Amino acid sequence: MPSAPLAQPHLFFGRSSEEGKRAHKSRSTERAGGQGSQDATDEKTSGSKRKHDPQLDNPQLDSVFLYEGGEVAWERQSEITRVRIGPQVKDIPPDAFRGCRNLAEVQFDEGSLEVIGDCAFLGCKALREVAIPSSVTKLGSNAFEGCSNLAKVQFHEGLEIIKESAFQGCTLQQVYIPSSVTKLGDSAFFKCINLAEVQFKEGIEIIGECAFYECTALQQVILPSSVTELGGWAFSGCSNLASVKFGEGLEIIAECAFWGCSNLASVHFSEGLEIICESAFDECTALRSVTVPSSVTKLGHGSFGDCTNLTEVILLCGERLLNQGFLDRGLLDGESALNKKKLNEMIGIGNALRDDCPLATSAFVPCSLTTLKISIPWALCNRMQRLPEECRLSIEQRLNDLRRLELTQDGNILACFPLVRRPSCWNSVEDTNDETAESIHQALRLICFHELKELSILIELAMWKSRLVEDRARADCRTSVPDPAKSLIMDYCGVMGFLEPAIEGA
């Protein structure tokens, strides 16, 4: 199992993901740093050496305090209620307003401010709204952490990086990430329990570990194609998250990224995704159906573990997971429809698989899943689409009678392989009595028969050079071929025996 994130001291302390889950359930992951060090700030003595703020000697503190740089004397911090950042200030240093518990308003002048430093406004509990000016390019770590009444923040184009725990523990209700932001740091919006809406624009590339951990009001996530990295535990514990849509740029979904999203019922993956890491969707108990893109090469241990209502998994990578030799030649003694080696690489427990060993997987343990469905469009559906409608309808009608084949509404054909639960908490993928292989073989016979039945049209390929009218070649010539001739052609091609079971009743 994966180790939980180490970047933030309040997270799981290097435990395995299983231990991290137990820590989550016991609600024992409260932050050890950041806001907790607030008390140490309050214990400083008046002898501390800090730059003095002459304005704070003014007893008329109802007016706005003009901040022109440097540090605010700690003994005056509790008296500040309103601050205006001067236009000449380029950066607000770390801890500048840390612990100003009565600070309710911060005014930023459009000017030269570029950086808001680490912990700059940490613990400003009276702060309710902040508009970050467009000149700011970086928000430091813990910049607004613990601002427990901060309900609204406005970002502008120009901001590039939101660092670790920048808004941890705030009461933000909605967040719009501008296209200029390329990175969200670890725990950036950690436990923002009122955050119901997050909108990303194309441009964001990295979403760090635990970025939206336990944002329990969040209901929908749409990741743009620019996202290439999604950190572990990124949306873990978002218990009201109902749907997620991934962009085409994401290649890896990290460990436990959506663990414990108990209301997640809809997941839409895009082609380009390659790896779904261990426990990525663990305990997503509302999930009933998952379609895995053809680009995916690996499903990690327990990637859909404890999805107790998951009853359908469709793998769109059939071209890789089924034996091409079987599709070319049909069912031979000892030959399986499955490419066990490739399937083991994708969902198997071990790194290798003997031909006589059942394929074992732990990706879906424990689930209600009893069948693994593999799409085979290139071998069946694509060929069917080239046939006349009456031929397709005839084949589709016959397919409905074949065991372990499923024809979907969009015309896709799925080969269904049973998942057999083993006592050692893993499943084996099996084709009992070769029933799935036999049905695929029969479907191939049906398609091939109807292809040859239309030989009166396809024969054009062999006759296009024929001089049927004097000496003029007829490139568009078509001729009807009688049934006896078709039989001779099929016998010559060596496919008559292959087609006999399909011809009956066709």
Task: Tell me the C-alpha distance between 148 and 128, whole Å.
Answer: 8
pLDDT at 121: 97
Cβ neighbours, 10 Å, residue 238: 26
pLDDT digits (tens, 9 = 90+) for 157-180: 999 999 999 999 999 999 999 999
Which residue carries 């740029």 as its tokens? Answer: 249
pLDDT at 356: 46
DSSP string spanning 176-211? Answer: EE-TT--EE-TTTTTT-TT--EEEE-BTB-EE-TTT
Phi-psi region of 256 (alpha: psi -120 to 50; beta: other; left: phi over 0): left
pLDDT at 447: 86
pLDDT at 41: 41
pLDDT at 424: 66
pLDDT at 27: 37
pLDDT at 36: 41
The domain locations on the chain are 32-41+51-133+154-167, 454-503
pLDDT at 119: 97
pLDDT at 326: 74
pLDDT digits (tens, 9 = 90+) for 82-115: 999 999 999 999 999 999 999 999 999 877 899 9
What is the pTM (predicted TM-score) of this model? 0.79
Residues linked to residue 500 through DSSP beta bridges, in sequence order: none
Residues with pLDDT less than 70, the chain = 1-62, 328-335, 350-359, 378-379, 424-425, 455-506
pLDDT at 358: 57
Q: Which long-range contacts (CB under 8 A, 24 or more apart) does 287-292 make?
A: 288/312, 289/313, 289/314, 290/314, 291/316, 292/316, 292/317
